[in-house]
Amino acid sequence: MPELSFVEQPERDDLGAFVARAVRLDGQTVVRLRNRDGGRVDAWVATPFDVLATRTVRGAVEPGDVTVSGNELLAALAVSRADRIDPGRVMDMQWRSALPPLAHWQVVEDQLPAKVVTDLTDRGLEVARENVGPHGTPPASLLDQTVLTVTGDGLEVKIPMRCLFAMSGMGFLGSGGNVDPDEHVRITATDAWLRIDARFGAVVRRRHALLPLLV
């Protein structure tokens, strides 16, 4: 049986908010929990926007890399206030996304005003509401549209709208009118991945589509 432990109560509350947002976006979501150095746990979810979202809290999970039901983890966090909880059934086979590397990230921009990001997101959401697809989702052309290009440390990183929608859906930034003007987001990248870190979490996505395997 897996076990998840926390250093302090605010850590479990932070994780609970993260999981609640993920479940709201996708009622069948699973959460991957992985230990990392320094007594921390990375929680990962795959959002409906084909973008990964992550939040790090201080604590530990056993086994050190396990995937559980989002609904069961959320219920466990809500019901038990103990320092150690059972996060739910192991569902490792339900995780189908590659995770980015831990090393070799370059800082492309660390002073991008959060207000710029929220304004772009709000405008994108307005367009999305006017162009809802047949399944109630924004068209792929809108999701894949580059809305921001940042350069730094020899890299040029193009950020698609789907990354901003994922940040908004996960509540990583407040609404445009409630964002601290001094708040910033941080953009890092590797050759293959981009990451946007905000106050309440980060979104991660491959920078380039994977090439199909030749048969």
Q: How far is CA 183 from the centre of its chain?
A: 19
Please tell me the predicted confidence (pLDDT) of residue 212. Answer: 53
Give the start-to-end residue ranges of the domains of the chain.
3-94, 106-206
For the stretch 57-72, pLDDT in tens is: 999 999 999 999 999 9
Rounded alpha-carbon distances, angstroms, from residue 199 to 122, 136, 172:
18, 29, 6
Which tokens hold the place of 210?
A: 């994977």
Q: Are 205 and 52 in contact (CB under 8 A)?
A: yes
Cα 96 to the chain's mean position, in Å? 15
- The confidence band for 211, taking pLDDT boundaries of 50, 70 and 90, is low
Q: Nearest CA to 189 among 162, 150, 215?
A: 150
* Percent of the chain at pLDDT exceeding 70: 93
Residue positions counted in the chain? 215
- How many helices and strands, by DSSP H and E, does the chain display? 5, 12
Question: 58: helix, coil or strand?
Answer: strand
Greater confidence (138 vs 147) lies with 147
Cis preceding-peptide flag for 63 (omega within 30 of 0): yes
On the question of a common fold for 3-94 and 106-206, the answer reads yes
Which pLDDT score is estimated for 210? 58
Q: Which CATH architecture has domain 106-206?
A: Roll (3.10)
The reported pLDDT for the residue numbered 137 is 72
Mean of the pLDDT values across residues 80-108? 95
pTM for this model (two decimals): 0.93
pLDDT > 70? residue 90: yes
In this structure, which topology does domain 3-94 adopt according to CATH? Answer: DNA Polymerase III; Chain A, domain 2 (3.10.150)
Average of per-residue pLDDT values in the chain? 92
Distance (Å, rounded) from C-alpha 115 to C-alpha 182?
9
